[in-house]
Structure 1
Amino acid sequence: MPLDADAILRLLDAKTSYTRRAGRYVGHEDGFALVDMGDERFQARWASGGFVPVVNDTVWVETIANGSDRVVFMTGPVGPRPGVGVVSTVADPLVTVTTDFGDFQMPFAGDTPPTSGDTVGISWSSGPWCSKLSTSPDEPAQPPGPIGGGGRVQVAEFRAVDAGTTHSNGDWWQAQVWAADNNDGAWFFGSQVRDTIPAGATFESLQVFINRIQKQGAAPNWALHSSASKSGVPSFTGLGAWHPGGNGWQTPPFAAVMFDALKGGGSALGFGFPNGGYNKFASLAQDGMSGALKISWKG
């Protein structure tokens, strides 16, 4: 006998599902990590090998659901946390440590600061600090060269960790992202894009997930900003006007410019609208994919 619609839905509900999103660590409570994703705050189990983030760190949050049962895990930071570096400058009580993934300022263990050129080990849990090593670790083996074509294409999806609209004064009065006069709308990604895509990467493609719930008037004026989260009013750098052709994954005409600005070494952390028409895009509570990025690159 064929299954009716309700029976099919019950079977689908019983399937185990898995999702992975980036969130913002905001503290801990009752033995759980607290993570903000969009306009919601979640309790997450610790599954990060003892790593404790610093408040406002961007972290990975993984959810396993089976029917109405759901378990949320915080599995660690977005982006690399190098374990070894070389001291470049000393300004007691902080030193600057150069690593394969950039320069970091941090305190040091002990009463005597390391000196420039010293190799140090780095601990990242509850905030970075370093300690001088007795000897330098062995140099890692060199990876094989790329097989033709300049390396394989890599693809990653980045969901916004927050979004909203302000009356250009930091009030963030609206959870939807508006492109409208006297309003600034924006999506925020922490530093996950910059931490994932290296500075030397070359552009392949970039798409934005569109869920526009109102289209009216002139095209939205798209722009980049350098804010990791909703704090004050973003400083925008214009990209241009663009009416997306529909909802779902869409390729903006300035995709390559966005890529160069958002990757490692770039000047931007997110994007939005300083103005433009009277267009409204879904909040993250309405659609967790709103404003998401799908980026492919080489290198």
Structure 2
Amino acid sequence: MSPTSADKIAEQLAAVPELDASTIGVFAGVDGDQAVVNLDGNQLRVPALGAHWPIVGDGVRLLRVGKTYLLLGPVKQRATVGKVLTAGSPRCTVEYPPGSGVSDLMGYPTNVTPAVGDVVLIDWQGEAAGTVVAVVTAAAGQVTPVPPPPPPSGGSGRQTFTAIDSGSFQGRWWTNKVYASASNKSAFFYGSKVGDTLPNDAVIDAISIYLSPERNSGNQPRIGTHGYQSNPGGQPVINNLVSLANASGWVPLPTSFGDQLKAGAQWGVGFDGAGFAIFRGTQQDGQAGALDITWHT
């Protein structure tokens, strides 16, 4: 039977990359045509969707599409209207927005001489600071937001938790890479952010880990949970071990792992004693070991 138009539309929609929950990083600069963003101790180079670069040090929102992060823009928009506190050349001191107590030195057009008390328009395009683009007689009025409707009972969430550190132990912690082998115990560490974020009454719908293998051979690697927010210094204990038939890309994990992590009974995941796989660590891949968790309450 030939496919219907509805079947074709469904196939096209299935091919659209999945959009994951956004996360917050810090803008660190520009490398060619990519933004450099610090995220949980890792430095990523990602495409930017905005019309101009954020300012270095800005909190920025990232969206993962498939295996790629995209920079959407700054988390907090800066005020575009300010008031001149002190005149000067080549910069004047501008408070933004007026009455906030927050001020900065800003340049201005050569055909304008801002005076104390002037209301000015600010352009934030650039990597260092804002620039006065015009002196105006008054700022535009603000529209009062419409209050939101009351939230429904219950809720759901999805978030990606990147690892803050990783490593392998063989008599000592000897590499940032994560080895799944008979002679190593290894782990990804996340601090306390997974347990701090997931509600205690959350029902875990799905949990996956991002694995970036340099080598994947031998028996199936065994992954489990551990009780460390950071490197314990000594040999780690890996609990709740299961074997992974596939250990590349986004790999599903038992939802029971999420139950352990949400309650703080365990804080991360690791490998113990099977296979001979070598996975990139946090120093080689900013997404290495990232956990993608979906839940509802």
Q: Does 1:161 align with 2:140?
A: no
Q: Map 1:1-299; keep pairs closer than 5 Å.
A: 13-14=32-33, 17=35, 19=37, 21-22=39-40, 37=41, 71-72=56-57, 146=152, 151-167=154-170, 169=171, 171-231=172-232, 232-244=234-246, 247-252=248-253, 254=254, 256-263=255-262, 265-299=263-297
Contact 1:222/1:271 (<8 A) preserved: yes
Superposed CA offset, 1:73-103 (max 9, x none): 689xxxxxxxxxxxxxxxxxxxxxxxxxxxx
Superposed CA offset, 1:108-167 (max 9, x none): xxxxxxxxxxxxxxxxxxxxxxxxxxxxxxxxxxx95635xxx33211110000001011
Q: Could you tell me how far apart the structure 2 residues matched to 1:72 and 1:176 are?
A: 29
Letter in 2 for 1:172: W
Q: Could you tell me how far apart the structure 2 residues matched to 1:187 and 1:70 are?
A: 31
Identical columns (%) = 28
Q: Could you tell me how far apart the structure 2 residues matched to 1:186 and 1:222 are?
A: 9
Q: What is the TM-score with the length of structure 2 in the denominator?
A: 0.52
Superposed CA offset, 1:185-234 (max 9, x none): 11000001000001111112111111111111111111110011112222
Contact 2:211/2:250 (<8 A) preserved: yes
Q: Could you tell me how far apart the structure 2 residues matched to 1:286 and 1:69 are?
A: 25
Letter in 2 for 1:174: T
Contact 1:185/1:273 (<8 A) preserved: yes
Cα deviation for residue 267 of structure 1 reads: 1.0
Superposed CA offset, 1:6-33 (max 9, x none): xxxxx99346x474633xxxxxxxxxxx
Cα deviation for residue 270 of structure 1 reads: 0.5
SS of the aligned residue for 2:220 comes to coil
Letter in 1 for 2:241: L
Letter in 2 for 1:291: G
Cα deviation for residue 297 of structure 1 reads: 0.8
Letter in 1 for 2:220: A
Q: Could you tell me how far apart the structure 2 residues matched to 1:68 and 1:181 are?
A: 47
Contact 1:210/1:244 (<8 A) preserved: no
Q: Could you tell me how far apart the structure 2 residues matched to 1:21 and 1:272 are?
A: 21
Q: How many residues align?
A: 176
Larger Rg: 2
SS of the aligned residue for 2:217 comes to coil
Structure 2: gaps (5+ residues): 1-29, 61-148
Letter in 2 for 1:204: D
Q: Could you tell me how far apart the structure 2 residues matched to 1:72 and 1:173 are?
A: 33
Q: Could you tell me how far apart the structure 1 residues matched to 2:54 and 2:213 are?
A: 31
Q: Could you tell me how far apart the structure 2 residues matched to 1:260 and 1:154 are?
A: 15
Q: Identify the residue that residue 131 of structure 1 maps to in structure 2.
A: none
Root-mean-square deviation (Å): 3.5
Contact 1:64/1:72 (<8 A) preserved: no
Q: What is the TM-score with the length of structure 1 in the denominator?
A: 0.52
SS of the aligned residue for 1:291 comes to coil
Structure 1 residues 71 and 233, CA gap change in structure 2 (3 angstroms) = farther
Q: Identify the residue that residue 9 of structure 2 maps to in structure 1.
A: none
Contact 2:186/2:236 (<8 A) preserved: no
Contact 2:33/2:47 (<8 A) preserved: no
Q: Could you tell me how far apart the structure 2 residues matched to 1:213 and 1:160 are?
A: 18
SS of the aligned residue for 1:258 comes to helix
Q: Identify the residue that residue 98 of structure 2 maps to in structure 1.
A: none
Q: Could you tell me how far apart the structure 2 residues matched to 1:69 and 1:203 are?
A: 35
SS of the aligned residue for 1:251 comes to strand
Q: Identify the residue that residue 29 of structure 1 maps to in structure 2.
A: none
